[in-house]
Amino acid sequence: MKVLFLGATKGMGRALARRLAERGEALFLLGRDLEDLERSARELEVLGAHGSVGSASCDLSEPSGFRAALDQADEKLDGFDTVVVTAGLFATQPELEQDEAQCERVLQVNFTGTVLLCEQVRKRLLSRGGGKLCVFSSVAGERGRKPVILYGATKAGLSYYLEGLDHKFRSDGLQTITVKPGFVKTGMTEGLDPPPFAGEPEDVARVVLRAIDRGKPVVYAPPIWRWVMMVIRCLPRFVMRRIGF
């Protein structure tokens, strides 16, 4: 595969990028911090990535820069065929309620910016016969819940967008893979009390890579979250108003 990767320097994205490199896939990294990207690129080369790993600046809050970043990736990889987007922002519900600027940024990055990037990627992949688009959403978007009202709303919108892509374009060769992680122990969740089914980045990476290979449209990681959220979706509203989950 020739993989364009946004979010490969930290957490689940880093674990997944390392697995891709160990398999000898060709990689190109996008992100905000060029120094982090360079360090990650050199690490992935040592792990076995095919050829040199290129990188370019790309910020989901600045859609005007998407085209140039994608052009650089296309040139380096001679046309990427797989795109992985793990980047996103998280903040707690109290933080988002109290800080309007932070709230606006989370809404912009997690939904608007991500969708606009995916739209540019979609057009490029379809123009060359298709490919794979793997995007990390979250189980937070499965249902409106007290602790993640605003963050969850961004992920709900993203999940519905990705599902629509899969319905419309899979027959044209575009395989859309929506990843819905539950609570995973990363820097993003540092300081929060982990629930009983909290996962590790490496476990998520293993599950997601298998889903990419198979073109599976939806994957929960760790897998137990599929069943946890099935129960949550079935709870009546009067119960959801009383519980804090």
pLDDT at position 195 over 70: no
CA atoms within 13 A on the CB side of 176: 24
Mean pLDDT of the chain: 94
Q: What average pLDDT does range 130-137 have in this prediction? A: 98
| Closest of 86, 92, 96 to residue 31, by C-alpha | 86
197 vs 114, more confident: 114
- Over 80: is that where the pLDDT of 155 sits? yes
How does residue 170 score in pLDDT terms, banded at 50, 70 and 90? very high
pLDDT one-digit tens code per residue, 106-115: 999 999 999 9
CA distances for 167 relative to 19, 81, 136, angstroms: 29, 19, 18
* Span 123-133, pLDDT tens digits: 999 999 999 99
Say if residue 144's pLDDT is above 70: yes
| pLDDT in the model for residue 198 | 72
Q: What whole-number distance in Å separates Cα of residue 136 and Cα of residue 138?
A: 7
Half-sphere exposure of 128 (CA within 13 A, CB side): 12
Distance CA 116, CA 113 (A): 5
The domain 2-242 belongs to what CATH superfamily?
Answer: NAD(P)-binding Rossmann-like Domain (3.40.50.720)
The yes-or-no answer on residue 151 being catalytic is yes
- 244 versus 165: the higher-pLDDT residue is 165
Amino acid at 221: A
Predicted pLDDT at 182: 86
Per-residue pLDDT, 15: 95
The pLDDT of residue 183: 77
DSSP 108: I
pLDDT value at residue 102: 97
Both tokens assigned to 204: 């998520």
**Residue 184 confidence class, pLDDT cut points 50, 70, 90:** confident
Q: What is the mean pLDDT of residues 157-172?
A: 98
Question: For 19-38, how does the pLDDT look when each residue is reduced to its tens digit (9 = 90+)?
Answer: 999 999 999 999 999 999 99
Average of per-residue pLDDT across 73-99? 96
Per-residue confidence band for 191, with pLDDT thresholds at 50, 70 and 90: low
Cis check for the bond before 222: say yes or no (omega within 30 of 0). Answer: yes
- Compute the average pLDDT of residues 85-114: 97
Between CA 235 and CA 245 the distance in angstroms is 12
pLDDT score, position 188: 64
pTM more than 0.75:
yes
